[in-house]
Structure 1
Amino acid sequence: MKKPSSLARMSLATRAIHGSKLHPFRGPVSVPIAQTSTYRFADSKDAVRYAKGDPDVYVYTRYHNPTVREAEDRLALMMNAEKAQLFASGMAAITSAILSVVKAGDEIISTPALYGGTYRFFRDILPGHGIAVKYVNPDSLETIPQIASEKTRVVYFETPTNPTLGIVDIAALVAATRQAERQHKTKIITIIDNTFAT
Structure 2
Amino acid sequence: LQSKARRTIVFISHDLNEAMRIGDRIAIMEGGRVIQVGTPDEILKNPADDYVRSFFRNVDVTAILTAKDIASRQHTTVIDREGFGPTAAIELLRRHDRDYGYVVSPKGEFHGVVSVKSLLQAERQQGRLADAYLNSYEPLAHDMPLSEVIGLVAKYPFGLPVINEANKYQGVITRVAMLRALDREDGVNHGE
Could you tell me the TM-score, scaled by structure 2's length?
Answer: 0.29
In terms of fraction of residues, the more helix-rich structure is 1
In terms of fraction of residues, the more strand-rich structure is 2
